[in-house]
Copies of this chain bind each other. A is one copy, B any other.
């Protein structure tokens, strides 16, 4: 199977994790890219699953060493994607899945170019997003209203994405995600195309 790069973005509460978990058995061998951050772990967050939690000094050493595929500062904390595990996964022919925001998507596109396939996942409406966030009972009213106003900004970047998944039902959204993930295996970088053409005409 060909390696592939799939970026997923969408408001917190869109159901991204649920969809990825539901689809996990149907998309072949994949590597879920875990971001590195300097922010304090929230209750229930697990090192290596939700994030790699590091100190500011460790993160800045990583920046200096060129360890990050992309990184950014949000509310005074660093967030980034380590390059090495992504490179290794791609070399093994895996599908690499990124769950990152619109800024991260831009940076991954800059870094990985034409190999990237991206999908924006969203609940059907802004009101529905708010309903789902409230139903989770994990965020304060203040955090929810922050997430809702962030969502209004993020949705404006829809045109930068290859595909839109409207999460009307988990089943539908899961199937859409599986199709897009399997299609992504057939997305080639310009370098891969060049190499393919060279081999193709000579054989």
Measured CB to CB, the residues of A under 8 A from B are: 114, 119, 122, 124-128, 152, 155-156, 158-159, 162-165, 175-176, 178-180, 182-183, 185-188, 190, 193, 196-197, 199-203
With a cutoff of 8 Å between Cβ atoms, the chain B residues found around residue A203 in the complex are 124-128
- Copies of this chain per assembly: 2
| Chain B minimum-CB-distance residue to A179 | B182
Q: Are A197 and B158 in contact (CB under 8 A)?
A: yes
Whole-angstrom distance between the Cβ of A22 and the nearest chain B Cβ: 16
Q: Are A186 and B176 in contact (CB under 8 A)?
A: yes
- With A179-B182, A183-B179 in contact, is A201–B155 under 8 Å at CB? yes
With a cutoff of 8 Å between Cβ atoms, the chain B residues found around residue A125 in the complex are 199-200, 203
With a cutoff of 8 Å between Cβ atoms, the chain B residues found around residue A155 in the complex are 197, 200-201
Sampled A-B contacts (28; CB under 8 Å) = A114-B159, A122-B200, A124-B200, A125-B200, A126-B200, A126-B201, A128-B203, A152-B201, A155-B197, A155-B201, A156-B197, A158-B188, A158-B193, A158-B196, A159-B193, A163-B183, A163-B186, A164-B186, A164-B187, A164-B188, A164-B193, A176-B182, A176-B185, A179-B180, A179-B182, A179-B186, A180-B186, A183-B183
